[in-house]
Structure 1
Amino acid sequence: MTSAESGGALQSSIDRSRTHNQEKQKFEGIIVKSAVPKYRQDLLKWNGWGYKDSSFEVQEEPEIKVWFSGDRYPIAGKVLPHFKKWVKETFDVVLENPHTAQDVLTEDQYPKPIITEEHLQDIANLNISYSLEGIDRLIRAHGQTLNDIYTLRYGMFKRIPDIVLWPRCHEDVVRIVQLASRLDLVVLVFGGGTAVSGAVECPADERRTIISLDTSQMNRIMWVDKDNLVACFESGIVGQDLERELRVLGYTTGHEPDSYEFSSLGGWVATRASGMKKNVYGNIEDLLVHARMVTPKGVLEKNGQVPRMSCGPDFHHVVLGSEGTLGVITEVILKIRPLPKCKKYGSVVFPNFEMGVRTMREVAKRRCQPASIRLMDNEQFQFGLILKPDAGRFHAFLDIFKKFYITKIKGYGFNTLCVMTLLFEGEEDEVKDQEKKVYGIASQFGGFPAGESNGERGYTLTFVIAYLRDIALKYRIVAESFETSVPWDRVLCLCSNVKRKISDECQKRSIRYFLVSCRVTQTYDAGCVVYFYFGFNHRDISDPIHTFHEIECAARDEIIANGGSISHHHGVGKLRQKWYPDTVSQVGVGLFNATKKELDPQNIFATNNLIKSKL
């Protein structure tokens, strides 16, 4: 190549780089209109799940009817004719007798903030928005565990944050952490408020001033790089906002946890989250390119945004799963993908749970998993039927016909059959190929297609199920879900043994009316994820939360005895803390403690998650 040619090639390269930078500039600093406002109580329930205008309601006159309010979900505004009978038969509950929860509290009912005038002045000098209001502090004292919501409805936490701060950017977080280190204050990070591990609860014995650092105002898209298919976000951005803005540009991360309407990106990273479509897009650790975390020792980040580097232990794995114990995640770079051209739902009916599991195993073995593949057991299938609205005589006739076909012609027992829901995403030919393979495998194990509408309904109902706990508590039913991951060869025995264990524990406590069900939600080469759902009527129990916790602990012991993990994606927090040392070994605990001592020697991030800090 001549010098002139070389110079021309160099100039061409510079021109392409300039064009790329100009293109990137167009997508820098996107201001996101958040679906979750700064003052969450304006839109969301202060003592329950989700939006204020969305809930299961009971109409008493002229007759008892159950319906779902609002207009945000497909089920909204529709009467649920099977609900009343099912709760009576399953939990011996009559809907005429609700248990009234406490109303909005007055300011003198909140624990007084522990903060000196001098410290308050130092915080005010940061010029960062803050609040001492009781309701603001209370909302950030909890996540979404059963204990959290029950306490909000019928009691009060022993300790709540003393002050809430809303940083606007990475630099604000740096200044907050520096001030906390200088004054020996505690910083607890609050993101979407959806934790189900007790992670954001304040340690009851902490006497230092507790700052709740709410990341919700850090919700910008910093930039989108179309050439390299990566994008940088502030950590407080909520899942539904992140996806909505990316879709406008023609992209997606594909990360869709059940809580994605309200959970934040920083929370996804801090808990090692997983989404319903991880088969195509990966878990959060697969999507993560770069993370920035502010610690009392300084900012932990790697130099460079390359797709992979070999430079010793990966510090991203110190950030991933850190659960607020080491610092504040402020900015995250994720992989993005062009929006799929084809999206299609599906469903399959199986004669029993074992045939469904065997199908999932074979699908995973052949590596032809669709974006989402989930299997409900019979108890959960029948439970799902109560959420089916009255759709008129014609559709009722079709339902009767389908039931007749399944039970009489196919010979499936209505009390044993189970349903798999599917979501396919990709190019049209890829989706067709996957459908052919998955349905072909299912047929080998007695499964037959049950339609797109059932698959879509099963998928979207995921976002409504979380609202059920609020109405359950209203009628003296305590309920919760918990998950695990397990090797393929132990799935069936784990599910059976855990159900039996819960049943035995209920019988020991004379609990007659309870429900336990499970579903397989995600698949891997070496195993899968199992969710359990458990609830009981606590009418004659003096301390239902303690009783529930005892039974859940026994179930978790049984899970571990059958080869399951303490968690797949909910994290450890405080709720599963007792099993952490045996899971990672004492050497692992020592390594975590050493990391904690190096990054946070004063225990500024005194969450007591994973292990109780002894610093």
Structure 2
Amino acid sequence: MASNSNSSESQRIAQQRLRIIAGHLQKHKDGDSGIIATECKAEANKGTVPRKRQEIMKWNGWGYGDSKFLFNNKGQAEFTGKRYRLSGMILPSLQDWFENTFGASVKHKSPATPALNASAVPLPSLNEAFVEDLKATGIPFSHEAEDRVFRAHGHCLHEIFALRQGKKFERVPDMVVWPITQPGDQCEWTWELGLARAPYCHNDVVKLVELACKHNVCLIPYGGGTSVTSALECPPEETRCIVSLDTSQMNRILWIDEKNLVAHVEAGIIGQDLERLLNESGYCTGHEPDSMEFSSLGGWVATRASGMKKNVYGNIEDLVIHIKVVTPRGVMEKSCQGPRMSTGPDIHHFILGSEGTLGVVTEVTMKIRPIPEYQKYGSVVFPNFEAGVSCLREVAKQRCAPASIRLMDNEQFQFGHALKPQVSSIFTNFVEGLKKFYITKFKGFDPHQLVVATLLFEGDRERVLQHEKQVYDIAAKFGGLAAGEDNGQRGYILTFVIAYLRDLGMDYYVVAESFETSAPWDRVLDLCRNVKERINRECKERGVQFQPLTSCRVTQTYDAGACVYFYFAFNYRGLADPVHTYEQVEHAAREEILANGGSLSHHHGVGKLRKEWMKESISNVGVGMLKSVKDYVDPDNIFGNRNLL
């Protein structure tokens, strides 16, 4: 790690500023100092994710080990565990939908390998000098097979399929390290300023990067492990010792500034823990990507993440006030936490979206908001997808979008209906029947064409109700019918369990994946239609025997465009290499997206999966600029995951 030649000058400036601030505080010691922060308790947060992730999470699938979809002995679908609102419920329509949609049968199973074969994992190639120096730091590490394999992948289809089939990874990390605050460690607390310093986690990362530079070791940062871009795969050609730097134990909120409504947080914290801890103090970030249960704050920064409620709270680039990142050149951060600066290009944007290629994000200062006093769900049914998109366009044009608005095409509507839990009330079934009759018979909506938008409003009650009326009035102009709070709420309840369905599909010879893009409003309809047609055509040409499921939804709205998600699944029986077939089809779909004016990615990132299109996406000059930054910040390619470039 390059020494910081300006460290003494930085210390001099810092000391001078502290004296100035202390003088101001002394003058106003009996009044409002202007800086209010909660006390840092300093003990490591007992977060959801343990160091040994395999203790609670699947090693070869999504999410918690005790939570999954299955078809029980009665042939009924259910969702196991107790962690979700859907847990323990029977889903009476799912089996019929599954078998009819994919031509599959619950009698034909393709079970996963029950356990990891540790003997099939390549032996670690350790840099002994690095290991000896690492031992002296007291930073925990492991080179056990399970720990290494768990951090050798994200959640791309080919990665999970390989695990389920017991296939050998070409390359896995040689060891895992955990920057961690030991129990009882205390933050350095500066009462005069109301600020806290975390001496261990950040400093551990500094030590690790210094040692990696000293011994020419490759570091790959690992946050929540939810990547779907091959970003966590180890480059097979890498001959150096590869160390996975797991940030999961860097999980504290260091301080909350209630006057400026910001929080200073360690970057390894996962979304659900961040919200839980902030909620205890009456605050939230409002940043809720679909992966928020397991994805980390540092990962959000590294991928330029987006959350479903960005209309109120913003995307991650809107929420971030300050980033501290450890690079091979030293620690990079701004000297001021003002809301905006005109000091050349924003250095934060070198880190936002850098995907672990420049360094490790250790701490982030981000905006927070008081927990909204009122929340209300809603839904609207439209006669067709075109009407729904036109409505969302008008909502965006009038800048009255609720916290979240999602438009599902008909295929997703049918899918969502199949996930409806069994109800015990005859009256409830009767009411649902009346609604269906009213929409399809009285209003004339074709059940094979209609689409549904789900809505989520947040804020003070009066404003929410006004906002709700405005959105429903716009929807009515495009033939939309209010479909009730329950349907809207159910759509959002399903958000965190949808990912578990891919594992169910693979149990019965069905592979599935999602991918996303963003596009200008005038390209959305053509893009959706053409991509779905291209997927169907490619599947047929490549020998997929049964009609694939291709569906899409518009998940985010902007002034000038929208984010679109595609879902794609097919029955792979009869295919020699289903993963290769899938990747060929997805590659064609991505080319179709780009040809129709869509972006390479809206929020998943590039990783290694999509980097072949980077020059097309940002130009040769743009790629050259990124390479120049990489060459300066990391001349020896210590952060060698080889994403983006």
Question: What TM-score does the superposition give when structure 2 sets the normalisation length?
Answer: 0.91
Bigger shift: residues 301-310 or 262-271: 301-310
Asked whether the equivalents of residues 28 and 224 of structure 1 are also in contact (C-alpha less than 8 Å), the reply is: no
Q: Separation in 1 of the partners of 2:331 and 2:26?
A: 37
Which of 37, 48, 55 aligns to 1:42? It is 55
Which of 520, 524, 535 aligns to 1:502? It is 535
Q: Separation in 1 of the partners of 2:540 and 2:143?
A: 46
Q: Separation in 1 of the partners of 2:421 and 2:458?
A: 28
- Aligned pairs (5 A) from 1:343-422: 343-392=375-424, 393-422=426-455
Secondary structure (helix, strand or coil) at the match of 1:331 reads strand
Q: Separation in 2 of the partners of 1:40 and 1:394?
A: 44
Q: Separation in 1 of the partners of 2:108 and 2:529?
A: 34
Bigger shift: residues 97-106 or 473-482: 97-106
Q: Report the equivalent of 2:557.
A: 523
Structure 1 residues 242 and 30: CA distance shift in structure 2, 3 A: farther
Q: Report the equivalent of 1:542.
A: 576
Indicate whether 1:88 and 2:99 are aligned. yes
Q: Separation in 2 of the partners of 1:126 and 1:162?
A: 19
User: Once the two structures are superposed, what CA deviation does each residue of 1:129-158 show, in whole Å capped at 9, x if it has no partner?
Assistant: 000110000000011111111111111211
Secondary structure (helix, strand or coil) at the match of 2:91 reads coil
- Aligned pairs (5 A) from 1:438-587: 438-511=471-544, 512-587=546-621
Q: Report the equivalent of 2:221.
A: 189
Secondary structure (helix, strand or coil) at the match of 1:467 reads helix
Indicate whether 1:134 and 2:145 are aligned. yes
Which of 300, 305, 310 aligns to 1:268? It is 300
In structure 1, the gaps of 5 or more residues are 1-8
- Aligned pairs (5 A) from 1:279-318: 279-318=311-350
Q: Report the equivalent of 2:77.
A: 66
Q: Report the equivalent of 2:466.
A: 433
Secondary structure (helix, strand or coil) at the match of 2:590 reads helix
Q: Report the equivalent of 1:166.
A: 178
Secondary structure (helix, strand or coil) at the match of 1:406 reads helix
Cα offset, 1:510, TM superposition: 2.8
Secondary structure (helix, strand or coil) at the match of 1:592 reads helix
User: Once the two structures are superposed, what CA deviation does each residue of 1:27-84 show, in whole Å capped at 9, x if it has no partner?
Assistant: 5647422111111111111110011111001213xx3121100111121111111111
Asked whether the equivalents of residues 349 and 419 of structure 1 are also in contact (C-alpha less than 8 Å), the reply is: yes
Which of 168, 177, 188 aligns to 1:156? It is 168
Asked whether the equivalents of residues 284 and 369 of structure 2 are also in contact (C-alpha less than 8 Å), the reply is: yes
Give 1:142's aligned amino acid.
H
Q: Report the equivalent of 1:599.
A: 633
Cα offset, 1:120, TM superposition: 2.3
Q: Separation in 2 of the partners of 1:192 and 1:224?
A: 23
Cα offset, 1:349, TM superposition: 0.5
Secondary structure (helix, strand or coil) at the match of 2:37 reads helix
Secondary structure (helix, strand or coil) at the match of 1:564 reads coil
Q: Separation in 2 of the partners of 1:305 and 1:326?
A: 22
Which of 96, 112, 118 aligns to 1:107? It is 118
Q: Separation in 1 of the partners of 2:290 and 2:49?
A: 16
Asked whether the equivalents of residues 221 and 233 of structure 1 are also in contact (C-alpha less than 8 Å), the reply is: yes
Structure 1 residues 26 and 480: CA distance shift in structure 2, 3 A: same
Give 2:549's aligned amino acid.
L
User: Once the two structures are superposed, what CA deviation does each residue of 1:365-408 show, in whole Å capped at 9, x if it has no partner?
Assistant: 00001000000000000011111111033322222222111110
Q: Report the equivalent of 1:5.
A: none
Cα offset, 1:16, TM superposition: 3.3
Bigger shift: residues 572-581 or 268-277: 572-581
Q: Separation in 2 of the partners of 1:507 and 1:220?
A: 51
Secondary structure (helix, strand or coil) at the match of 2:30 reads helix
Bigger shift: residues 108-117 or 473-482: 108-117
User: Once the two structures are superposed, what CA deviation does each residue of 1:325-382 show, in whole Å capped at 9, x if it has no partner?
Assistant: 0000000000111111111100001111111100000000000010000000000000
Q: Report the equivalent of 2:90.
A: 79
Asked whether the equivalents of residues 479 and 534 of structure 1 are also in contact (C-alpha less than 8 Å), the reply is: yes
Which of 157, 160, 176 aligns to 1:146? It is 157
Which of 238, 242, 245 aligns to 2:270? It is 238
Secondary structure (helix, strand or coil) at the match of 2:377 reads strand
Give 1:167's aligned amino acid.
P
Asked whether the equivalents of residues 130 and 212 of structure 2 are also in contact (C-alpha less than 8 Å), the reply is: no
Q: Separation in 2 of the partners of 1:31 and 1:184?
A: 30
Asked whether the equivalents of residues 358 and 633 of structure 2 are also in contact (C-alpha less than 8 Å), the reply is: yes
CA RMSD of superposed structures (Å)? 1.4
Secondary structure (helix, strand or coil) at the match of 2:406 reads strand
Asked whether the equivalents of residues 38 and 257 of structure 2 are also in contact (C-alpha less than 8 Å), the reply is: no
Q: Separation in 2 of the partners of 1:285 and 1:425?
A: 21
Q: Report the equivalent of 1:124.
A: 135
Give 2:53's aligned amino acid.
R
Asked whether the equivalents of residues 197 and 570 of structure 1 are also in contact (C-alpha less than 8 Å), the reply is: yes
Cα offset, 1:509, TM superposition: 1.7
Secondary structure (helix, strand or coil) at the match of 1:15 reads coil
Cα offset, 1:237, TM superposition: 0.3
Give 1:454's aligned amino acid.
N
Q: Separation in 1 of the partners of 2:30 and 2:604?
A: 47
Q: Separation in 2 of the partners of 1:583 and 1:462?
A: 30
Cα offset, 1:117, TM superposition: 3.3
Bigger shift: residues 80-89 or 349-358: 80-89
Structure 1 residues 25 and 354: CA distance shift in structure 2, 3 A: closer
Give 1:222's aligned amino acid.
L
Q: Separation in 2 of the partners of 1:601 and 1:116?
A: 20
Secondary structure (helix, strand or coil) at the match of 2:569 reads strand
Q: Separation in 1 of the partners of 2:262 and 2:277?
A: 14
User: Once the two structures are superposed, what CA deviation does each residue of 1:447-471 show, in whole Å capped at 9, x if it has no partner?
Assistant: 0111111111101101110000001
Structure 1 residues 450 and 159: CA distance shift in structure 2, 3 A: same
Secondary structure (helix, strand or coil) at the match of 2:228 reads coil
Asked whether the equivalents of residues 32 and 245 of structure 1 are also in contact (C-alpha less than 8 Å), the reply is: no
Question: What TM-score does the superposition give when structure 1 sets the normalisation length?
Answer: 0.96
In structure 2, the gaps of 5 or more residues are 1-23, 181-200
Structure 1 residues 602 and 280: CA distance shift in structure 2, 3 A: same
Q: Separation in 1 of the partners of 2:48 and 2:130?
A: 33
Q: Separation in 2 of the partners of 1:446 and 1:241?
A: 41
Secondary structure (helix, strand or coil) at the match of 1:216 reads coil
Q: Separation in 2 of the partners of 1:148 and 1:256?
A: 25
